[in-house]
Amino acid sequence: MKFRELSIEGAFEITPQLHGDPRGLFTEWYRFDRLAEVVGHPLNLAQGNLSVSAAGVVRGVHFADVPPGQAKYVTCVRGAVLDVIVDLRVGSPTFGRWEGVRLDDADRRAVYIAEGLGHGFCALSDDATLSYLCSEPYNPTGEHAVHPLDPDLAIEWPADVPQLSARDEAAPSLAEAIASGLLPDYAACKEFTESLRTA
């Protein structure tokens, strides 16, 4: 299992070792100890999600209030997606930057997304299926979104006509989210991460 830190602090790409033969395939796609070693604290497993999307569907960009936020460990178990991490932490050196990682059922990569970061994806195939491990249960009052097609984010979604949910279609722009005080604060996110490391 190899970890690669992405250009956004708190985001990692994980590439597992695949063991295959004519019978099939085996891989460790998540290791509690290895992840804790890399990010500096354990991932509290509070909820598991499964998402199935048609090709061209864009979901996100979603984030949660910090504290407690919601860290995610995401892999694609069927098909392929472009998984996108967006730095929405006001005051971060990479605020507003995004990075994409292809997740698919061939390489079996995963991404880790720390508290305070935004997350979205575009399905590259029909029935693209994502599995999420989350550090906190879903909290509707603490979950938010930024419009995925906002030109200020300029995310290069690989879909001619992205299909959005009603919630994502109605999400505020990055500028509106900043003005309303909706976005996480970088210093508060750093403080919360440090509290996890010393707990």
Give the predicted TM-score (pTM) of the model: 0.95
Ordered domains of the chain (ranges, CATH): 2-196 (2.60.120.10)
Sole residue written with tokens 């998402």: 51
* Identified catalytic residue from 30, 41, 62, 112: 62
> Residue 199: pLDDT band by 50, 70, 90 thresholds?
confident
Mean pLDDT (whole number) for 190-195 = 95
- Per-residue pLDDT, 141: 95
Told to judge if 144 belongs to the known catalytic residues of this protein, a careful annotator would answer no
User: What's 185's DSSP letter?
Assistant: B
User: What's 146's DSSP letter?
Assistant: -
Structure confidence by residue, pLDDT tens digits, 139-176: 999 999 999 999 999 999 999 999 999 999 999 999 99
The encoded tokens of residue 159 equal 């879909």
Told to judge if 112 belongs to the known catalytic residues of this protein, a careful annotator would answer no
- Per-residue pLDDT, 130: 98
Structure confidence by residue, pLDDT tens digits, 11-57: 999 999 999 999 999 999 999 999 999 999 999 999 999 999 999 99
- Per-residue pLDDT, 17: 96
Residue pair 70/41 in contact by the 8 Å Cβ criterion = no
